[in-house]
Structure 1
């Protein structure tokens, strides 16, 4: 297996827009709607909206054209989407396509994999992060891309832009929410890390690609995909490792609390009317990672896999409540207190630990050997897997 020449990234996938705005920059943009060119002068914008199973281009109240497939050089336009409380603006390189999905518009950016690697590193790390940490992340990102290409093939692209796959914001991004603006841009750090490790992926001793992941902070120990995601059997190299490097990180240890009834509604709506119910950790790995929980309500007992518990809580109460896979649940009257370690799924490269190792002068390949002790770097541009 070699690196593909281009990757298709589904963008704004969590936002699921019904319409988007495309704004031309300092030069004119040419939108190709079903191969028909539509000119967009410099500084002008148009709306792309779903229309009777197709697409419609609008300027103000004037409909410019209708069709089923729009393509444009991504460098020539800025994409903006507005929701009830949030507004996003993104700029990309490569080719941008817009098609009508079943329920919302589908936007896909196609670009070379090294551009994707640079963008993901830029989204995940501060521009001031140590270069060796960025290079380690670049190798892990590229390994994931090669190993999981086509993950969303049934939806018409290879990867989504959320943490379900990898965080991808493009060349420049801005977000307005609750009166505050945040944003960023493709960093020199991200571009240099991709260039310095061009083509490098993690290769397992048995001759296959490593199933590489990364996490914000492992909390002292990493785990395996099987534990974190409920994926069944691990590969021969998917073993967790100890990490002393992230102990000064913000989320090495954490505490959260939640109202019992609120949690009940999130897990099983019928529990909200039950006065007496309990939840407890039912299963752990020998190194402390939660594998399952048990909910007891009267004579009824329900066992939830940990990944299902975190998914339900995250979807309905926010992803900032159960931060990791290592935690304890303590009852305190009408409240439940969760105390845990780490932030994220805790699989693979620990970003907080990688930064600390780089600051201590360690080379990126030494960092990778620490978190992937049975894997080695090989160049996918020169090697068939």
Structure 2
């Protein structure tokens, strides 16, 4: 966040799914920066259901037949009927009930004609998209790619990241940041056959409608009117550097009073600096406290930790702005220094992404436990979502908001290319 940064709504929606992975931008939208693109692509290929790596996908036709285009043939799915797409060693096959209907290595369909469903561990997810859906059999799973106009993707991300009643100016600011991010990072997953993924590794892209079911209940949402409006109102606008190249823009849920540079957050080495933020103080993530068993935390960092090892985990270095740069970990006779971004990644993978919510925190020993007290939620880079909402409610425009968080950038039109 660009995307990154799970939104409050994205966090809620993905909470269960990211215990297969995470609750908000929290494998945040980070990673290496690609060279700034001179043009804005017309369409984006979005990898969807990327966290699932599904072997089975269900398609349900809407009120008209859905034409599934396979290699050399067309299979028509009748209105309101469902078929199952299965991954096999030789490609993909289509089943209706117990009847094998067709086989191929790839199929495409108008995404608006079907509802997609994937079942994961204790989770069932349905989504609807516009554009074109392609399903390809890879070596171990099915790959799903939705191709949509850029501004349809921008609207979907804004809708996933902000509530439907979000102030217009905050939504406009986010739309421009999202467009800047996708223009700058397009092709990040080119080696995998798509441009960006639908998780907060790139952008939280849930499509036009989504439903998640699990034991605890059912949640869902749909593309908001505000998100569609702001994507249209800001069409073609991106953040730019002084030389008119596209600015590498990010966003996070709550900066906790201070943003930082990608270099600090990700080790990406980008020349951007942070700003002080007084607008997110009312956020429930402005301050946070978590507690974890120190031996459990040590095992997340070093799996062979013994039950008899003495364990000490403490902050080793901080930046001048108070962000944790590295941690000193002593486990028995072993001593290692772990960069903070690596620490957060390991802990997130092993213990869940809502334990170390940000990069500004202290660690306090408490018996067999460690208490973490921190500020903010996400990677702290770029636009603070909670801060932008507060600014918009105070009457500030989206231009004001963007100048506040991106003082080195300007808003300008981007030429449409590919």
Comparing 157-166 with 52-61, greater Cα deviation is found at 52-61
Q: 1:357 deviation in Å?
A: 0.2
Q: 1:260 aligns with which of 273, 289, 294?
A: 294
CA contact (8 A) 1:264 1:272 kept: no
Aligned to 1:143: 180
Aligned to 1:234: 270
Answer yes or no: is 1:295 the counterpart of 2:332.
Answer: no
Please identify runs of 4+ aligned residues in structure 1 that moved more than 4 A: none
Cα distance between partner residues in 1 of 2:156 and 2:65: 25
Q: 1:97 aligns with which of 118, 134, 137?
A: 134
Cα distance between partner residues in 2 of 1:172 and 1:155: 25
Instruction: Give the number of equivalent residue pairs.
Output: 380
Deviations 1:79-133, CA, capped at 9 Å, x for gaps = 0011230000000000000001222110000010000000000000000110100
Answer yes or no: is 1:367 the counterpart of 2:401.
Answer: yes
Aligned to 2:81: 44
Alignment of 1:115-130 (within 5 A): 115-130=152-167
Answer yes or no: is 1:314 the counterpart of 2:314.
Answer: no
Aligned to 1:211: 248
Aligned to 2:310: 276
Identify if the C-alpha distance between structure 1 residues 329 and 169 changes in structure 2 by more than 3 Å, giving closer, same or farther: same
CA contact (8 A) 1:98 1:106 kept: yes
CA contact (8 A) 2:313 2:330 kept: yes
Q: 1:200 deviation in Å?
A: 0.4
Cα distance between partner residues in 2 of 1:292 and 1:156: 35
Q: 2:99 aligns with which of 52, 62, 67?
A: 62
Cα distance between partner residues in 2 of 1:31 and 1:376: 44
Aligned to 1:338: 372
TM-score (norm 1): 0.97
Higher relative contact order (CA 8 A, sep 6+): 2
Aligned to 1:176: 213
Aligned to 2:39: 2
Deviations 1:333-360, CA, capped at 9 Å, x for gaps = 1100000000000100000000000000
TM-score (norm 2): 0.89
Aligned to 1:356: 390
Cα distance between partner residues in 2 of 1:296 and 1:270: 13
Deviations 1:156-179, CA, capped at 9 Å, x for gaps = 000000000010000000001223
When the two chains are superposed, the root-mean-square deviation of aligned CA atoms in Å is 1.1
- Secondary structure at the counterpart of residue 137 of structure 1: helix
